[in-house]
Amino acid sequence: MASLVLTAPAQQKSDTVVVELAKTTRVVFTIKDRKDLPILRQYDFQALFTDILNKIDNTPATEPQPVQTTEPEEIKQEYEVITWESDDDETRKERNTQYIRKTRHSINFDLGMNNYLSEGRFPDENNELYTVRPWGSWYVGINSVQHTHVKGKLFLEWGAGVNWYNFKFQEDNIVISTDENGVIFTQDTRDVNFIKSKLTASYLTASLIPVLDFGGRGFKPRFWDSKGSKFRIGLGPYASYRLGSHSKLVFNDGNRRREKEFDNFNLNTFRYGLRLQLGIQSTDFFFNYDLNELFNNKPNNPRLNAFSFGIIF
């Protein structure tokens, strides 16, 4: 048997608002911690009060009960207590979830690493020149995301953003060029101190991720708030359009120099794949896997499927 009690004990350091609704009825809000305000803003109070009044209308009246406090007499206050009883726990659970805001917006940042596979294997197994270093091959994304409540614990996270692949090659002197047969990877033989070589590509990306949120509110709390949603998991598609790409070679010949070349390097204009998201309290992780290949289908192009993984801020 479930019982709900609405009351507001007096506190010296609390923010208290009293709303007079009728001759003998009032509602008292006492907020001890202003960190609760973002949660309160999500509630549909119209639906909440309609549900309360329906419960009271169908329940025998109870005598008002004074609130027991241990405060000094000069600051003691007595409030009316509204109570009702219900044998239907499922109805109560359904009522608690209906106060979730339908759609919210957030700006998310992806930060992680990227690499690629050739027929399920890393290129370093064959000592390919396009082998990359995991540390230093950064994946970065900025996304505008809408969080839409569908039903119960099911939400949709949908939106668009810009993201970057940065493939830092294992060898620091890799030069990228192209011909009619595809992309060519060679080593620069100049007598200089090579520092790094990499390929960067930027994309405009749209995604649609169904998410099961077992905390039931569909939002990720801030890092310092450990009382947020307990566990979230989502899996869905994304599609991307390449905005630009360039190679960069950094070396020192007495002075630090950069050689940058802008080209498409036979990269596919479009990419698409699947995104997995996992969230535990205030921390979310992502894993992206491209279902199509990084380069187009010219004969000499390596057959590579890119992937990335990291943390969502």
**What's the CA gap between 129 and 132, in Å, rounded?**
9
Tens of pLDDT, residues 229-288:
578 999 999 999 999 999 999 999 999 999 999 999 999 999 999 999 999 888 899 999
Residue 307 in this model has a pLDDT that exceeds 50: yes
**What's the CA gap between 134 and 146, in Å, rounded?**
31
- The CATH fold assigned to 103-312 is Porin (2.40.160)
Q: What is the DSSP letter of 264?
A: -
Please report, for residues 30, 92, 98, the alpha-carbon distance to residue 4 in angstroms, rounded to integers and kept in the order given: 16, 10, 17
Identify which of 310, 313, 312 has the alpha carbon closest to the alpha carbon of residue 135.
310
Residue type, position 264, single letter = N
**What's the CA gap between 99 and 243, in Å, rounded?**
41
Domain residue spans of the chain: 2-97, 103-312
**What's the CA gap between 27 and 6, in Å, rounded?**
9
Q: Cα angle at 138 between 301 and 286, to 5 degrees? A: 100
Task: Please give the residue that has the higher pLDDT: either 207 or 55.
Answer: 207
Mean pLDDT of 193-198: 97
Mapped onto helix, strand or coil, the DSSP state of residue 304 is: coil
Q: What would you report as the CA-atom Rg of the chain, rounded to the nearest whole angstrom?
A: 29
